[in-house]
């Protein structure tokens, strides 16, 4: 539709429009995904461990590989990524001192992380970690995973991520080029 025609006659925004060409300047496409755990995951002490998000809740671009827990964006640009996890209460022992670090991994390396300790004075029986960041993807080979590291200063024990989609998930949203 010629621009002059739009100006001359106006556009009825309640009408349907079937564009067959490329529309630019209309905002970013709506691309997003979310994956969760299907079962609790044991995480060894002192190893940065990939969270096994193998339950794909939504994936508008079919870009998530549940077998490797990777999201490989097929659109280049900036993405908002978030990973969050809750530990089951049975594995967080009151009075123990933990160091915890959750990270967004790009191509297997940490690009953003968040660190927090669980002090011995904290007697809560559960604790969560989350990380959110804007990251760039080339739209072809770059992939993202969520990693988690913890160090138990008491027993050097493993901990368990809770498979509850309300609290443990990996999600991302395309922001734009």
Partner 1 sequence: MNLTEKIISIYPELADYDWVNAMMNDIILLRDDANGEGEYISVWNHPTLAQPTQEQLDAVGGE
Task: Give the angle 27-31-37 at the CA atoms, nearest 5°.
Answer: 155
Per-residue contact track with partner 1, 106 to 135, x per CB under 8 A?
A: ---------x--------------------
d(CA 160, CA 90): 8
Least distance between partner 1 and beta carbon 11 (Å): 51
Pick between residue 31 and residue 146 the one whose CB is nearest to partner 1. 146
Out of 31, 33, 49, 71, name the contact with partner 1 by CB under 8 A: 49
Out of 32, 78, 114, 151, name the contact with partner 1 by CB under 8 A: 151
Residue 154 near partner 1 by CB under 8 A: no
Out of 51, 63, 81, 102, name the contact with partner 1 by CB under 8 A: 51
d(CA 24, CA 157): 53
CB atoms within 10 A of CB 77: 16
Out of 44, 95, 154, 176, name the contact with partner 1 by CB under 8 A: 44
Sign of the torsion angle spanned by Cα atoms 99, 107, 112, 52? negative
Give the closest residue to 99 by CA, choosing from 146, 149, 57.
149
Pick between residue 73 and residue 147 the one whose CB is nearest to partner 1. 147
Residue 113's alpha-carbon distances to 88, 142, 172, in angstroms, are 21, 18, 16
Q: Which residues pair with 104 in a beta bridge?
A: 112, 146
Residue 50 near partner 1 by CB under 8 A: yes
User: Which residues of the chain form contacts with partner 1 (CB under 8 A)?
Assistant: 41, 43-52, 68-69, 99, 101, 115, 147, 149, 151, 156, 158
């Amino acid at each position: 539709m010629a621009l002059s025609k739009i100006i001359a006659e106006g556009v009825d925004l309640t009408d349907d429009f079937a564009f067959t060409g490329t529309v630019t300047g209309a905002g970013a496409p709506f691309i997003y995904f979310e994956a969760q755990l299907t079962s609790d995951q044991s995480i060894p002490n002192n190893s940065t461990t990939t969270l096994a998000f193998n339950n794909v809740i939504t994936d508008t671009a079919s870009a998530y590989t549940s077998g490797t827990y990777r999201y490989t964006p097929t659109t280049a640009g900036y993405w908002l990524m978030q990973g969050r996890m809750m530990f089951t209460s049975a594995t967080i022992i009151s009075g123990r001192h933990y160091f915890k670090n959750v990270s967004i991994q790009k191509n297997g390396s940490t690009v953003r992380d968040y660190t927090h300790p669980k002090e011995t004075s904290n007697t809560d029986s559960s604790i969560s970690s989350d990380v959110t960041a804007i990251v760039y993807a080339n739209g072809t080979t770059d992939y993202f995973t969520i990693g988690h590291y913890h160090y138990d200063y008491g027993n050097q024990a493993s901990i368990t991520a809770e498979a509850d989609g309300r609290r443990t998930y990996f999600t991302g949203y395309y922001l734009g080029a």
